[in-house]
Structure 1
Amino acid sequence: MALVIQAYTFLYQYANSWLHATPAKNKSSKALKMGVLSSAQINAAAAIHPAETHPDVILYAIASRDADTAAKSAKSYAFQKSYGSYQALLEDPEVDFVYISVPNGLHYEWASKALKAGKHVLLEKPFTSNAAEAEALVREADQANLVLEEAFHWQFHPAAHLWRALVESGEYGRQIISTNAKMTASPGVPDGDIRWQFDLAGGSLMDATYALSFTRYILRAGMPEKILSAVARPYDKDKRVDAAMTTTLLFKDQSGESVHSRVYTDIARGWLGGVIPRVWELPQIEVETDKCHIVFYNAMMPHLYHYISITDKATSTITYKHQYSGGPVWGNVQTSVGVGGASYWSTYRYQLEAFVTKLQGGEPAYWVTNEESIKQMQTIDQIYSAAGLPIRPGKV
């Protein structure tokens, strides 16, 4: 289902960028020039349309490995320049920061080259191919005194902040007993897609890394205490690649209590009865406390639609909550369009707001630390090892 909601996000972002765009002539005097590395399909929703509505971001340059493809993209989205190679864009001194959406296995290489070229980096998830690359990349960013951010866009949205605030309030239980996160694709990722390529760091745990992110976010967890189990369903054309992964981890919560967490990812989810795709399976996580079951439904892209359901164990009463702007984190924050952001903003737009604030020397309302990105990759490596699969290969 992840592919379907991604398609809806493209439409959603296009409509809102058209309705709420800041024309190039009206961009602020402090606007930053953005470069985009790759012509990937995700660019429009994740970076281009959000930039169109941000008064402090200019669509400056886009690069592809094919000059004609880059030129077509530049014309379609009104970039000022296009380049037929990634390196050529990085050598342009006018570029302030780059958004990188190359295949997983190339994240470290091109983020590293961008840092060496003096560019700040917004890097698509998963951060790198493995933990060793993650640690090396963070060192490079620190040494260069440049901003490096993993694009876990969902964490920037007000719905995510409300969900965590509810769980941590104590009103719905003072102890987290377990969590159960899942992200599936039904219809599945088609054969031939780069997400099936081992050398490009493919696999369900890499592509659907959101499910692990949901879990670590709500527990404010670092590394798991233990991988209790990890079982992969291998891709039939390359047994090193996981079509699905089911893992159970033991974490410690903030009070030191043990929490059993199940994480299930599947990028080739079977159809019901072999004929009906499971289109209702949006990315979600359930948190069980001593008093309630709390479900965050469509945690990946809550700007399209989401709910947070709270089921009381004693009475079976269900309460629903939603949050599209403001909330516990953004509620009192002055943004580029006013206090609290805007209800039409996508997760990606909230993310860009925070990123630009950081680059301009301000304090972003929310931030994914580099240390968190390292721990995410370390956990992924541990799960692959526990499942008997090789860690994705890297350049370090």
Structure 2
Amino acid sequence: MDFLGGVRRNWRQFDPPVASKQEDALKFGILGAANIVPMALILPARSHSQVIIHAIAARDKTRAIVFAKKHGIPVVKNSYEEILDDPAIDVVYIPLPTGLHLEWALKALSKGKHVLLEKPATSNAHEAEILHHHRLLNQSSEGPILMEAFHSRFAPGWQQFLAVLDPPNVSHAIAKNMVPSYIVSDDDIRFDYSIGGGALLDLGTYPLASIRDAFGAEPEECIDAKMTPMAPPREKCDHTFYAKFRFPNGGIGEVDGTLRAPKTHFSLPTITVTHKPVPAQDGENKASDKGAEVTRTRKVTFCNLLWPTNYHYVTVEDKFEIRDAGSSTVKREYTKTETKKAYTFRDMGRDAAGETHWSTYRYMLEEFVNKIKGRKGSGVFVSHEESIAQSRALDMIYEKSSLGLRPTSKRVSEFA
């Protein structure tokens, strides 16, 4: 039954129901006919009654026309500027290469448009601070909303994972994300240094954000970083990365990933979090010895960082050790294991919107629209400070490695 339910759930994510659009629906304009657009916005918008995909522009207008016809977008503009100048457009979605994010996000904000900005928000922390602390975002509570489109973090499954962690007592976390080499070609735009290329800045954002979430804190130091560069002429870009961080509580977080795994390799991106031993709480252990001391060491694994609405699981493994009071000798030990899943917030006992056919992007779109409309929603959001902190952690890895920071926009002085 679970298998059939999973098939139906995934089928509906790629063929969601069509919602009737409300009069106050937000009209979106899209900058660029990127491959991510259908999954990230067009499909989620189909089932949202307050989202209309109104217009698109691309560097190649012919491509934009073909894209618009295929996806039912009614208006094709001649340029990005025409999208921004259209008073009918309320929101701009920016799926452009990372190195172009700062320029076009600020141009959109200057026109009073709300902005949904693909991750990573910027090429480095300097750009992130310029963007997220910009005066355009601080004029009033009625000003435009800017959010980094970190879709996976909005999923109920990810929130279920966070709910079973005890961040102050996390001792170690390791997140891995391995992608077979045939998925991304050598000439892919992800390996263009001039516009923020590199596997870490693309693929690595997911495992890095996950260990930061696990510790509930920002790393104090990157104590090790190893980057494997592409072959010339793309040697400034990494295709494989590894980094180790020290967090404020003394715990260690690791990220490990590649866009060049063997072609036969298949694994879902996963994070494993180990806690320090803590005294067991009343009712959670089976010790009957009078005066016994019982400690619990928790290990939690979350499988599928990127697409938890398609499939995921959270495994909670609690190891209990029983000792006589004051003794360091373990008299008895046992392990209790539980697996949790949450494809809607209802699955974890929370009263928040969601359906089994919602993708991670649909959950994200729900909260982005809620923010614009002034509604509370699920309470999940990517704040400006969160985006800056993520950029700083990415910079720490690049600085520790031999590759150095990703380049800052040559026009940055215009935006500061």
Q: Distance in 1 between matches of 2:23 and 2:350?
A: 27
What is the TM-score with the length of structure 1 in the denominator?
Answer: 0.87
Q: Distance in 1 between matches of 2:112 and 2:229?
A: 40
Q: Secondary structure at the match of 1:108?
A: helix
Report what 1:7 is aligned to.
none
Q: Distance in 2 between matches of 1:135 and 1:111?
A: 13
Amino acid at match of 2:355: A
The 3 A distance-change label for structure 1 pair 112 and 329 is: farther
Q: Secondary structure at the match of 1:20?
A: coil
1:326 aligns with 2:345: yes
Correspondence for 2:237 among 230, 238, 241: 241
Query: What is the alpha-carbon root mean square deviation over aligned residues?
Result: 2.0
Report what 1:120 is aligned to.
114
The 3 A distance-change label for structure 1 pair 374 and 329 is: farther
Amino acid at match of 1:37: L
User: 1:101-140 maps to which residues of 2 (within 5 A)?
Assistant: 101-140=95-134
Deviations 1:166-194 (A, max 9, x none): 113x9xxx721100011121135211101
Name whichever of 184-193 and 323-332 sits farther off: 323-332
Q: Secondary structure at the match of 1:99?
A: strand
Report what 1:28 is aligned to.
22
The 3 A distance-change label for structure 1 pair 324 and 14 is: closer
Deviations 1:46-90 (A, max 9, x none): 011100110000111111111121112211121121113211111
Residue 381 of structure 1 deviates from its aligned partner by 1.0
Report what 1:61 is aligned to.
55
Residue 33 of structure 1 deviates from its aligned partner by 0.4
Asked if the contact 2:190/2:202 (under 8 Å) is kept, the reply is yes
Q: Secondary structure at the match of 2:119?
A: coil
The 3 A distance-change label for structure 1 pair 322 and 13 is: closer
Residue 328 of structure 1 deviates from its aligned partner by 8.6
Residue 278 of structure 1 deviates from its aligned partner by 1.2
Q: Secondary structure at the match of 2:186?
A: coil
Q: Secondary structure at the match of 1:240?
A: coil
Report what 2:369 is aligned to.
356
Q: Secondary structure at the match of 1:39?
A: coil
Q: Secondary structure at the match of 2:247?
A: strand
Deviations 1:275-331 (A, max 9, x none): x5211x211111011312211000211011001112234535532110000159882
Q: Distance in 2 between matches of 1:263 and 1:316?
A: 27
Q: Distance in 2 between matches of 1:126 and 1:200?
A: 12
Correspondence for 2:246 among 241, 247, 250: 250
Residue 240 of structure 1 deviates from its aligned partner by 1.6
Residue 13 of structure 1 deviates from its aligned partner by 7.5
Asked if the contact 2:157/2:343 (under 8 Å) is kept, the reply is yes
Asked if the contact 1:301/1:347 (under 8 Å) is kept, the reply is yes
Amino acid at match of 2:302: F
User: 1:312-323 maps to which residues of 2 (within 5 A)?
Assistant: 312-314=318-320, 315-323=334-342
Would you say how many aligned residue pairs link Structure 1 and Structure 2?
362
Report what 1:99 is aligned to.
93
Report what 1:6 is aligned to.
none
Asked if the contact 1:13/1:45 (under 8 Å) is kept, the reply is no
Q: Distance in 1 between matches of 2:398 and 2:177?
A: 17
Q: Secondary structure at the match of 2:130?
A: helix
Residue 388 of structure 1 deviates from its aligned partner by 2.0
Residue 356 of structure 1 deviates from its aligned partner by 0.4
Q: Distance in 2 between matches of 1:218 and 1:228?
A: 18
User: 1:299-378 maps to which residues of 2 (within 5 A)?
Assistant: 299-314=305-320, 315-327=334-346, 331-333=350-352, 340-365=353-378, 366-378=380-392
Q: Distance in 2 between matches of 1:328 and 1:119?
A: 35
Q: Distance in 1 between matches of 2:74 and 2:196?
A: 32
Q: Distance in 1 between matches of 2:144 and 2:28?
A: 15
* 5+ long unaligned stretches in structure 1: 1-10, 334-339
Residue 165 of structure 1 deviates from its aligned partner by 0.6
Amino acid at match of 1:284: T
The 3 A distance-change label for structure 1 pair 105 and 13 is: farther
Q: Secondary structure at the match of 2:65?
A: helix
Q: Distance in 2 between matches of 1:278 and 1:296?
A: 19
What is the TM-score with the length of structure 2 in the denominator?
Answer: 0.83
Report what 1:163 is aligned to.
161
Name whichever of 149-158 and 229-238 sits farther off: 229-238
Residue 12 of structure 1 deviates from its aligned partner by 7.8
Q: Percent identity?
A: 36
Q: Distance in 2 between matches of 1:167 and 1:327?
A: 19
Q: Secondary structure at the match of 1:267?
A: strand
Residue 98 of structure 1 deviates from its aligned partner by 1.1
Q: Distance in 1 between matches of 2:377 and 2:251?
A: 30
User: 1:140-219 maps to which residues of 2 (within 5 A)?
Assistant: 140=134, 141-143=136-138, 145-168=143-166, 175-188=169-182, 189-208=184-203, 209-219=205-215
Residue 369 of structure 1 deviates from its aligned partner by 0.6
Q: Secondary structure at the match of 1:247?
A: strand
Q: Distance in 2 between matches of 1:374 and 1:327?
A: 31
Residue 364 of structure 1 deviates from its aligned partner by 3.5
Residue 394 of structure 1 deviates from its aligned partner by 1.6
1:230 aligns with 2:225: yes
Residue 263 of structure 1 deviates from its aligned partner by 0.8
Q: Secondary structure at the match of 2:260?
A: coil
Name whichever of 70-79 and 120-129 sits farther off: 70-79
Residue 151 of structure 1 deviates from its aligned partner by 0.6
Asked if the contact 1:13/1:49 (under 8 Å) is kept, the reply is no
Residue 118 of structure 1 deviates from its aligned partner by 1.3
1:261 aligns with 2:253: yes
* 5+ long unaligned stretches in structure 2: 1-7, 277-296, 321-333
Q: Distance in 1 between matches of 2:179 and 2:275?
A: 28
Name whichever of 235-244 and 106-115 sits farther off: 235-244
Amino acid at match of 2:156: P
Asked if the contact 1:187/1:278 (under 8 Å) is kept, the reply is no
